[in-house]
Amino acid sequence: MRLRSLFAVAVSTLPLAAMAAEPYSYAQPDQVRVTHLDLDLTIDFAQRALSGQATLKLDWKNPKATSLVLDTRDLKIASIASVSADGKTAPLNYVLAPRDKALGSKLTIAAPTHPTLVRIVYATSPDASGLQWLTPAQTAGKKLPFMFSQSESINARSWVPIQDSPAIRITYDAHITSPSDVRVVMSALNDAKHPLNGDYTFDQPHPIPSYLLAIAAGDIAAEVTGPRSAVYAEPSMVHKAAHEFEDTEKMIATAERLYGPYRWGRYDLIVLPPSFPFGGMENANMTFATPTIVVGDKSLASVISHELAHSWSGNLVTNATWRDGWLNEGFTTYVQGRITEAVYGKSLADEEALLSARALEKSIGSMPANAQKLTPDLRGVDADDALSDVAYDKGSWFLRTLEQRFGRADFDAYLRSYFDHFAFQSITTEQMLAYMKPNLIDKYPGKMRWAEVQDWVYGSGIPKDAPLPDSPRFYAIDTERAAFLADKLTADKLDAKGWNTQEWMYFLDRLPDVTALVKIKALDDAWHLTGTPNAEIGMRWYVHAIVAGDKDVWPAAAEHMTRIGRLYLTLPLYKAFAKTPEGLAYAKQVYAKAKAGYHPLTQQAVEGILAKASPAKK
Residue 152 clears pLDDT 50, i.e. is over it: yes
Residues 564-579: tens digit of each pLDDT: 999 999 999 999 999 9
Beta carbons of 269 and 277 less than 8 angstroms apart = no
Q: In this structure, is residue 244 part of a structural domain?
A: no
CATH code at 524?
1.25.40.320
282 is a domain residue: no
What's the CA gap between 317 and 172, in Å, rounded?
Answer: 18
Asked if residue 18 has pLDDT above 50, the reply is: no
Give the mean model confidence (pLDDT) for residues 300-320.
97
Other CB atoms within 10 A of residue 93 CB = 10
Reply yes or no on whether the pLDDT at 3 is more than 50. Answer: no
594 lies in a domain? yes
Checking if the pLDDT of 431 tops 70, the result is yes
Record the pTM: 0.94
Q: Please say if the pLDDT value at position 1 is more than 50.
A: no
Quick one: 113 exposed, middle or buried, by C-beta within 10 A (0-12, 13-18, 19+)?
A: exposed
Q: Could you give the CA distance from residue 222 to residue 206 in angstroms, rounded to a whole number?
A: 24
Separation between Cα atoms, residue 72 and residue 163, nearest integer Å: 9
Q: Is the pLDDT of residue 380 over 90?
A: no
Q: What is the pLDDT of residue 616?
A: 74
In a domain, 37, yes or no: no
Residue 253 within a domain = no
Is residue 474 over pLDDT 70?
A: yes
Average pLDDT over residues 400-420: 98
What does DSSP say about strands 105-110 and 67-72: parallel, antiparallel, or unpaired? Answer: antiparallel
Tell me the H-state helices in 189-285. Answer: 235-244, 248-259
Whether the CB-CB separation of 423 and 11 falls below 8 Å is answered with: no
- Residue 580 pLDDT > 90, yes or no? yes
Assess contact for 314 and 335: CB atoms under 8 A: no
Catalytic residue, candidates 344, 392, 506, 542: 392
Domain range for 543 = 472-613
> What's residue 12's pLDDT?
33
Position 227 in a domain: no
Q: What is the pLDDT of residue 617?
A: 65
**pLDDT for res 13:** 35
Q: Residue 385 has what pLDDT?
A: 64
11 secondary structure, DSSP code: G
Q: Can you tell me the mean pLDDT for 583-609?
A: 96
pLDDT at residue 615 in the model: 87
In the chain, the percentage of residues whose pLDDT exceeds 70 is 95
363: preceding bond cis by omega (within 30 degrees): no
Percent of the chain with pLDDT over 90: 93
Q: Is residue 304 part of a domain?
A: no
Of the residues 22, 234, 282, 307, which is catalytic? Answer: 307
Which pLDDT band holds residue 378 (cuts at 50, 70, 90)?
confident
Q: What is the pLDDT of residue 63?
A: 97
Determine whether 574 is an active site residue: no
With CA atoms as reference, report the closest residue to 263 among 232, 228, 289.
228
Per-residue pLDDT of 84-122, as tens digits, reads 999 999 999 999 999 999 999 999 999 999 999 999 999
Q: CA-CA-CA-CA torsion for 533, 185, 306, 128, nearest 10 degrees?
A: 80
In a domain, 518, yes or no: yes
Closest CA to 168 of 274, 29, 14: 29
How many domains would you assign to the chain? 1
Active site residue 234: no
pLDDT category of residue 492 using cuts at 50, 70 and 90: very high
- H or E element at residue 39: strand 32-44
Closest by alpha carbon to 140, among 232, 244, 220? 220
| Residue 381's pLDDT band (cuts 50, 70, 90) | low
Distance in angstroms (rounded) separating the CA atoms of residues 473 and 499:
9
Laid out side by side, the sheet with 183-186 consists of 131-134, 146-149, 215-218, 183-186
What residue type is 394 in one-letter code?
A: K
Phi, psi of 175 (to 5 degrees): -120, 120
pLDDT value of position 386: 61
Residue 91's CB is within 10 A of a number of other CB atoms, namely 9
Band (pLDDT 50/70/90 cuts) for residue 521 is: very high
Instruction: Give the distance from CA 399 to its chain's centroid.
Output: 20
